[in-house]
Amino acid sequence: MKKKSHIVLIVDPEEKVGKTAGAELKKISVKYVYASSGEDALNWIQPKSMKFSLILSNQNLPDMEGAKFFVEAKKRAPDTLRYLIAKQGDIKAVTKAVNIGAIHRFIAKPWIQKEFLGIVKRGLEQFELTMENHKLFRQNDGQNDKLYKLNIELKNKSKKFKRSIAVEENKIMEMNKILEKGFEFRNHVREIEQMVREKNMLTPEKNDILCKAVISELFEQFSDIAVRHGFEMTDIQKAETDG
What is the predicted pLDDT for the residue at 142? 58
Cα–Cα distance between 191 and 241 in angstroms, integer? 17
What is the predicted pLDDT for the residue at 167? 74
Taking the complete model, does pTM exceed 0.75, yes or no?
no
φ and ψ at residue 54, rounded to 5 degrees? -150, 145
Mean pLDDT of 205-211: 65
Cα–Cα distance between 236 and 115 in angstroms, integer? 99
pLDDT tier for residue 55 given thresholds of 50, 70 and 90: very high
Domain covering 7-145 in this structure, CATH number? 3.40.50.2300
Is residue 38 pLDDT above 90, yes or no? Answer: yes
Cα 156–Cα 160–Cα 162 angle in degrees, nearest 5: 115
Q: Which residues contact 193 (CB under 8 A, 6 or more apart)?
A: 207, 211
Q: Which residues contact 171 (CB under 8 A, 6 or more apart)?
A: 229, 230
What count of other Cβ atoms lies within 10 Å of the Cβ of residue 84? 27
Would you mind telling me the total number of residues written for the chain in this entry?
243
Percent of the chain past pLDDT 70, that is, above it, reads 58
Q: What is the pLDDT of residues 60-119, one digit of tens each?
A: 899 998 888 999 999 999 999 999 988 877 777 777 777 776 788 888 888 777 788 999
What is the predicted pLDDT for the residue at 7? 94
Mean pLDDT of 189-218: 63
Q: What is the pLDDT of residues 146-167, one digit of tens each?
A: 666 666 676 676 677 677 777 7
Is residue 196 pLDDT above 70, yes or no? Answer: no
